[in-house]
Amino acid sequence: RPGAAEWVPAEADVDTLRRAAHDCHGCELWEPATQVVFSAGAVGGRLALVGEQPGDQEDRRGVPFVGPAGRLLQKAVAEAGIDVADTYVTNAVKHFRFTQAAPGNRRIHQTPELAHITACRPWLVAELQQVDPEVIVCLGATAAKALLPKDFRVTKHRGQAFSLATSRGPRTFLGTIHPSAVLRTPEPDRDAAYAGLVADLRVAAGVLA
């Protein structure tokens, strides 16, 4: 698999990147998916939220975080004191990876492999270079694998802001759980999982303050 690099236009703004991504065949995920799901939100945003990959609803609508996980995330971001209008939202992998027992059956989410994360990473790097947020929040292990050091573990290092070198100079990064992990947490622990996500996002808010 070639990876996305040959489809990523150099020095292009986010709208140009978004348009170019429609043609990407950097890995095999483009084929069964409905469409590429690029990013949403403020291109001048001071905070970027990086998810895993589009889900079922995102794949149908072509917009990231419009399903249940997205609704939970939006609530958590607001509760953490972050202005939603100041956030840029994207995913580490831009096509929905799923399995389906038969056509017409429910599509079941499959976690992207390291090969997909690596293949798609040139889009993520290019868009973040354009947006140049002050703080980048990785939601879950997939986004962390795309952007954070190899030894980063969500369980161990979540909620810790640290500085990493980027092509624009040092920027603040932070990893936390994915909002889908909150939704998957069985009661009676779900409220605590949600509060943990909000607490981590508050750390990011504190950096911006």
Residues forming the site for ligand SF4 (CB under 6 A): 4, 21, 24-27, 29-30, 36, 93-95, 116, 119-120, 123
Cβ density class 168-207: b for 16+ within 10 Å, e for less: eeebbbbbbbbbbbbeebeeeeeeebbebbbebbbbbbee
* Residue 123 engages ligand URA in binding (rule: CB under 6 A): no
Scanning residues 54 to 83, which ones bind ligand URA (CB under 6 A)? 54-55, 58, 64-65, 67, 69-70
For residues 106 and 179, is the Cβ–Cβ distance under 8 A?
no
Scanning residues 4 to 23, which ones bind ligand URA (CB under 6 A)? none
Question: Which residues are bridge partners to 170 per DSSP?
Answer: 165
Question: Which residues are bridge partners to 169 per DSSP?
Answer: 166
Judged by CB under 6 A, the stretch of 47-55, 98-106, 130-138, 197-205 that binds ligand URA is 47-55
- Output 58 or 127, the one with its CB closest to ligand URA: 58
- Output 87 or 180, the one with its CB closest to ligand URA: 180
Separation between Cα atoms, residue 142 and residue 113, nearest integer Å: 8
Q: Which does 69 bind (CB under 5 to 8 A by kind): ligand URA, ligand SF4, none?
A: ligand URA
Separation between Cα atoms, residue 170 and residue 206, nearest integer Å: 17
Scanning residues 170 to 199, which ones bind ligand URA (CB under 6 A)? 180
Give the torsion through C-alpha atoms of 79, 87, 71, 52, to 10 deg: -120
| Least distance to ligand SF4, CB of residue 7, Å | 7
Q: Which residue has the tokens 């998957």?
A: 184
Site for ligand URA, rule CB under 6 A: 51-55, 58, 64-65, 67, 69-70, 91, 180
